[in-house]
């Protein structure tokens, strides 16, 4: 059982560490120090729901409804493109960081963005529902639950470490010159992911 938990933790960690839209958003919330706990908790909970859904058969449902993934793919690509354009606009403005701090968004708005980054990304379903779910179900009977628990704990540890590390480093990262480059990087990530998802990569 313990080895299954460790295996799930290792797989979950290896899948989530790649810098993507979700991680970039968590870093940004940490740097501007807005709703860090709630954003990290939402990302962790969303991943856990998808992981457990994969273990308990959602992958089979997705296979029977192939029209869902194209809808999520194009919707997700459009959303990432829109967010990337906004990040690029912020990067090109002189007072981008000051504006970000003054124009604080509501908790609902932050979680709505977080939900879009998570639930509109078809790669999230492929990683959590299909990949983690299929590997968990290929293990010996009785190991599915600890495996899924390990993958969920990896997500929890990663998001909270990422968000609070960004918050701890905010004095350095929020300097105008540094923040400008953060927004450039975020824009680049969003444009790349939008193109990759839109083309079905």
Q: Spell out the domain ranges in the chain.
A: 2-198
Whether the pLDDT of residue 102 is over 50: the answer is no
Q: Which residue in 43, 33, 10 sits closest to 156, CA to CA? A: 43
Tokens of 191: 């444009």
Whether the pLDDT of residue 125 is over 70: the answer is yes
Residues 6 or more apart in contact with residue 107 via CB below 8 angstroms: 35, 38
Q: In angstroms, rounded to a whole number, what is the distance separating the alpha carbons of residues 180 and 170? A: 13
User: Is-above-0.85 flag for pTM?
Assistant: no
What confidence tens digit (pLDDT) does each residue in 66-79 have? 666 676 677 767 87
Q: Mean of the pLDDT values across residues 108-114?
A: 91
């Amino acid at each position: 059982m313990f080895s299954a938990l460790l295996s799930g933790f290792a797989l979950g960690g290896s899948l989530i560490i790649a810098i993507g839209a979700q991680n970039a958003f968590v870093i940004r919330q940490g740097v501007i120090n807005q709703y860090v706990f709630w954003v990290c908790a939402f990302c962790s909970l969303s991943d856990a729901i998808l992981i457990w859904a994969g273990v308990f058969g959602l992958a089979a449902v997705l296979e029977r409804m192939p029209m869902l993934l194209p809808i999520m793919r194009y919707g997700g690509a459009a959303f990432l493109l829109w967010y990337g354009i906004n990040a690029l606009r912020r990067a090109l403005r002189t007072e981008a960081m000051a504006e970000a701090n003054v124009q604080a968004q509501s908790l609902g708005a932050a979680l709505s963005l977080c939900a879009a980054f998570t639930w509109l990304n078809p790669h999230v379903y492929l990683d959590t529902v299909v990949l983690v779910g299929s590997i968990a179900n290929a293990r010996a009977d009785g190991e599915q639950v600890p495996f899924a628990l390990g993958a969920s704990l990896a997500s929890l540890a990663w998001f909270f470490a990422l968000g609070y590390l960004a918050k701890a480093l905010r004095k350095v990262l929020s300097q105008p010159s540094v923040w400008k480059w953060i927004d450039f990087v975020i824009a680049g990530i969003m444009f790349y992911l939008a193109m990759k998802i839109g083309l079905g990569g």
